[in-house]
């Protein structure tokens, strides 16, 4: 086998570990926590089906690439809840993870994946904004359908949920209206405290 192919196969085997990284959110039927591979697949499906709600016309291929790779860094860094106060520690560990794991690939692909991941993290391009909106929307929907299971488990208040997730509107004002309604219903039903 050629060196290039050996590197590609090593990467493909390494990323299998993402199936062991469990998130704070639970599946829609509340049976267990979701892992990063399942989550990333669900974002792919959401990108395909919901692309028309992006504020700006997006390159779907680029969004798919981003959501496919966006959590690879968690193989090394682990999963931090989006409401974490440890943002600096999270960023440092994830950057180290990106360098190690994407570094397994041949140089051209390593650069492409690293750049895609940085673009996703920066949330500045229209594709990154839409991908980030989906990344926020899926756990919101899961919480809504599990009587706020993850928010209750982690003692997250309604105002914090609204504050952290309002970035969804940068990618899609339409999806943010939908998300806001779900959060407010959870507060109104007394599933989570407002503040």
CA–CA separation, 98 vs 88, rounded Å?
15
Residue number, 8 or 167, with CB nearest to its own copies: 8
- The footprint of its own copies on residues 48-87 (CB under 8 A) is 48-50, 53, 60-61, 64-65, 68-69
Q: What is the largest CA-CA distance in the chain?
A: 61
Q: How far is the CB of 86 from its own copies (least distance, A)?
A: 27
Instruction: Provide the residue count of the chain.
Output: 195
Q: How far is the CB of 45 from its own copies (least distance, A)?
A: 6
- What is the DSSP annotation of 9-39? HHHHHHGGGGGG-EEEEE-TTSSSEEEHHHH
Q: How far lies 17's CA from each of 14, 73, 74, 82, 176, in Å?
A: 6, 11, 9, 21, 32
Evaluate whether 87 touches 131 at the Cβ level (below 8 Å): no
Q: How far is the CB of 79 from its own copies (least distance, A)?
A: 16
> Which residue reads 């959590």 in tokens?
71
The tokens describing 135, both together, are: 């990344």
If one asks whether residue 20 binds its own copies (CB under 8 A), the answer comes out as yes
Residue number, 41 or 155, with CB nearest to its own copies: 41
- The footprint of its own copies on residues 132-171 (CB under 8 A) is 141, 145
In this chain, which of 15, 66, 131, 161 binds its own copies, going by CB under 8 A? 15
If one asks whether residue 41 binds its own copies (CB under 8 A), the answer comes out as yes
If one asks whether residue 8 binds its own copies (CB under 8 A), the answer comes out as yes
If one asks whether residue 23 binds its own copies (CB under 8 A), the answer comes out as no
> Which residue reads 């488990």 in tokens?
153
The tokens describing 67, both together, are: 């959501």
Q: Is 71 left (phi over 0), alpha (psi -120 to 50) or beta?
A: alpha
Binding site for its own copies (CB under 8 A): 1, 5, 8-9, 11-13, 15-20, 27-29, 31, 34-35, 37-38, 40-42, 44-46, 48-50, 53, 60-61, 64-65, 68-69, 105, 109, 141, 145, 174, 178
């Amino acid at each position: 086998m050629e060196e290039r192919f050996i590197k590609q196969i090593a990467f493909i085997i390494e990323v299998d570990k993402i199936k062991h990284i469990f998130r704070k959110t639970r599946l829609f039927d509340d049976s267990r926590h979701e892992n990063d591979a399942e989550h990333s697949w669900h974002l792919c499906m959401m990108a395909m089906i919901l692309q028309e709600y992006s504020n700006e016309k997006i390159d779907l291929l680029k969004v798919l690439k981003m959501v496919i790779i966006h959590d690879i860094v968690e193989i090394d860094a682990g999963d931090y809840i989006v409401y974490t106060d440890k943002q600096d520690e999270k960023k440092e560990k994830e950057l180290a993870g990106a360098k190690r794991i994407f570094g397994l690939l041949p140089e051209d692909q390593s650069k492409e994946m690293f750049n895609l991941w940085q673009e996703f993290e920066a949330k500045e391009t229209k594709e990154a904004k839409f991908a980030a909106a989906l990344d926020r929307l899926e756990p919101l929907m899961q919480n809504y359908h599990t009587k706020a299971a993850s928010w209750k488990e982690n003692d997250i208040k309604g105002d914090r949920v609204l504050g952290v997730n309002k970035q969804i509107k940068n990618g899609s004002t339409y999806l943010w209206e939908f998300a806001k309604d779900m959060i407010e219903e959870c507060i109104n039903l007394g599933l989570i405290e407002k503040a």
